[in-house]
Amino acid sequence: MKFQFDSVQQMLEMAGHGQYVWTAVLVTLLMMAWLLVRPLQVHRAHLKTIAQQLRREQRRRITQEDNQ
Amino acid sequence: MSNIGFSAYLRRDLLLSYRRLGEAASPLIFFLLVSILIPLGVSPDPQRLAELAPGIIWVMALLATLLSTEGLFAADHQDGSLEQMLIAPQLLALPVLGKVTAHWLVTGLPLTLVSPLIGLMLSLPAVATVPMMASLALGTACLSLIGAVGAALTVSLRKGGLLLSILVIPLYIPVIIFGSAAVQTAVDGFNWLGPLSVLAAMLCAAIALCPWAIGGALRLVSSN
Amino acid sequence: MASNRDWTWFYRLGSPRWFYETTGRWLPWLWALTLVLLVAGLVWGLGYAPQDAKQGNSFRIIYLHVPVSFLALAGYYLMAIAGAIGLIWKMKLSYMVMKSAAPIGAVLTFLALFTGAVWGKPTWGTYWVWDARITSMLILLFLYLGVLALQYAFHSQEAGNKASAILALVGTVNIPIIYKSVDWWYTLHQPATIKLTSAPSMHIDMFQPLLVMIVALYSFYALALILFIRAEILQRERKAAWVCDLALRADQGSAGEDKE
């Protein structure tokens, strides 16, 4: 098994096919990355809103107790 | 008396569309009208039209059926008779099949009957007239059944029409492939019974399976 | 009693909390596995695999195209099976699996089409050919989009779940029919000028990296699916005590970081 290209330049060009191969690689990796990042973002956002909600309820309960 | 549900709903829906004749005729008018657009938009050259005719007629028939599918359960959902059908003790597949048959009788069948006229206007070769009518008759029945699944799924949505077309057009694809192929093979002078028998097989499968999917969809979705 | 106990795993599997906590323990390993396999497969396929005699270097796109197409199709079946389990056993978790599989499948189907088109340009001289496999893939994309659109059209989560499960099942019955008819349609209209070479028997040196990439994509799919499901679980179980605990702990953690 040997590396097929002699230089970085050659690997980028791939004998004229580089633009196609690298476009496919780039777009695929970007969209796959999005599929991993997106649920993580949603996950964090959910945790945040739930925590905010809980703290708001807690504060309301405390002020109610104070008023009494 | 298991077929009470079938014939009762068939008769009822036919009567309803007879009372609203204008509404029932609109898919047919749509079919005729859109077919006029093709010579105006593409070319009035008989040779080019003849080449496109099998595909055009089938696409138009598909769109016309789709257009009328949205209302299949909508009126019943609004006036509550759908609920009644769902709680009735009989097998749900039978009234459903009755309604779909009525739908085909007021859309697919008239389309089939006027299609020779459109074939004439689009200079479809005369040999293809019978295959066209046969394929439309079988194919539009398939389209009604498949479309009814989509109509049942979207019945409780206020703007279900556009969504319905997104859901069912991919499922329509085998029907249009074999439908237009039957006409095309007849035009080319080959035996057109092959594609037609595939259409017939699809119709059998659709009759066996679709009513269950429609019934399930109505039961599960319309209650929410 | 024994038969009862045998089924407990099944119900535990249906518990969102159990799923969340178990997959939480798997996640680091799955991340590592996915990244290692992806990097290894890509370097091997793009750098070390010999070039194709006819297609030259453009054939290297196969290392993305084939695994992505594989998972795009398998994902639809997974989605439909999850939907069926949800309909039959009314299992909450399996609806979440179904809902999460839809966007992943749609993106993968799009990628299969995209890489196929980019591959087509240097090989056939055109980005788009109405080839049977490409056309079927395009229809699959619309089937995915239909399920997604239906899921989000309903106000009630419950109705959306049931409706898209039914649609996914109807689609599953139809997929073989669609594929067969598109295949037949293609032989009918096959243009003489463009000959698509059916996959030639691959040299073993070319095949090994492909195998690595397929496994990598399976691992990636599992990872993405689990991440989507976990986000979905938090949203649907937001009233549950354990989720509240989790949220408060995460909140305190980030608050502490902010102070530093």
Give A42's pLDDT tier (boundaries 50, 70, 90): very high
- Single pTM value for the model: 0.89
Q: What is the pLDDT of residue C59?
A: 83
Q: What whole-number distance in Å separates Cα of residue C203 and Cα of residue B133?
A: 52
Q: What is the pLDDT of residue C74?
A: 93
Tell me the DSSP string of C211-236. Answer: HHHHHHHHHHHHHHHHHHHHHHHHHH
Residues of chain C in contact with residue A43, where contact means CB-CB under 8 angstroms, are 227, 230-231, 234
Q: Flag whether residue B67 sits within 8 Å of chain C, measured between CB atoms.
A: no
Residue of C nearest to B194 (CA): C184
Task: Encode pLDDT of C109-133 as tens digits.
Answer: 999 999 999 988 888 888 888 888 8
Burial class of C30 by CB neighbour count within 10 A (0 to 12, 13 to 18, 19+): middle
Cβ atoms of B181 and C187 closer than 8 Å: no
Which residue is associated with the tokens 């699944």?
A: B149
Q: What is the pLDDT along chain B (224 residues), one digit of tens a residue?
A: 455 678 888 888 888 888 887 777 888 999 988 888 888 988 888 888 888 899 999 999 999 999 889 888 888 888 888 888 888 777 888 889 999 999 999 999 999 999 999 999 998 998 899 999 999 999 999 999 999 999 999 988 877 788 999 999 999 999 999 999 999 999 888 888 999 999 999 999 999 999 999 998 988 876 65
Task: Encode pLDDT of C85-106 as tens digits.
Answer: 999 888 889 999 999 999 999 9
Nearest CB neighbour to C115, from listed A24, A34, A53? A24
Total count of domains within chain B: 1
Residues of chain C in contact with residue A31, where contact means CB-CB under 8 angstroms, are 107, 110-111
Instruction: Give whole-number Cα distances, C74 to B59, B107, C70, C102, C180, in Å.
Output: 31, 37, 6, 12, 17
Q: Is the pLDDT of residue C8 over 70?
A: no
Q: What is the pLDDT of residue B94?
A: 87
Q: What is the pLDDT of residue C247?
A: 87
Q: What is the pLDDT of residue B222?
A: 66
- Give the pLDDT mean for A45-63: 89
CB contact under 8 A, B166 and C143: no
Task: Encode pLDDT of C150-198 as tens digits.
Answer: 998 888 888 889 999 999 999 998 899 988 888 888 877 655 444 445 4
Q: Flag whether residue C152 sits within 8 Å of chain B, measured between CB atoms.
A: no
Q: What is the pLDDT of residue B21?
A: 79
Q: Is the pLDDT of residue A7 over 90?
A: no
Nearest CB neighbour to C166, from listed B166, B181, B220? B220
Q: What is the pLDDT of residue B1?
A: 44
The minimum CA-CA distance between C209 and chain B, rounded to whole Å, is 35
Q: What is the pLDDT of residue B4?
A: 65
Q: Is the pLDDT of residue C229 over 80?
A: yes
- Contact partners, residue B18, CB within 8 Å, separation at least 6: B24
Least confident of A59-68, B99-108, C33-42, C63-72: A59-68
Q: Flag whether residue B178 sits within 8 Å of chain C, measured between CB atoms.
A: yes
Q: What is the pLDDT of residue C6?
A: 62
| Structural domain boundaries enclosing B217 | 4-221
Burial class of B161 by CB neighbour count within 10 A (0 to 12, 13 to 18, 19+): middle
For C61, the token pair is 């796109």
Rg (CA), chain A: 26
Q: Flag whether residue B207 sits within 8 Å of chain C, measured between CB atoms.
A: no
Residues of chain C in contact with residue B220, where contact means CB-CB under 8 angstroms, are 87, 159, 162-163, 166
CB contact under 8 A, A35 and C46: no
| Residue of B159 and C36 predicted with greater confidence | C36
Q: What is the pLDDT of residue C76?
A: 95
Domain ranges of chain A: 8-67
> Which of C162, C169, C180, C183 to substitute to test the interface with B, most B CBs within 10 Å?
C162
CB contact under 8 A, B221 and C162: yes
Q: Which of residues 136-175 of C touch A (CB under 8 A)?
A: none
CB contact under 8 A, C57 and A17: yes
CB contact under 8 A, A3 and C47: yes
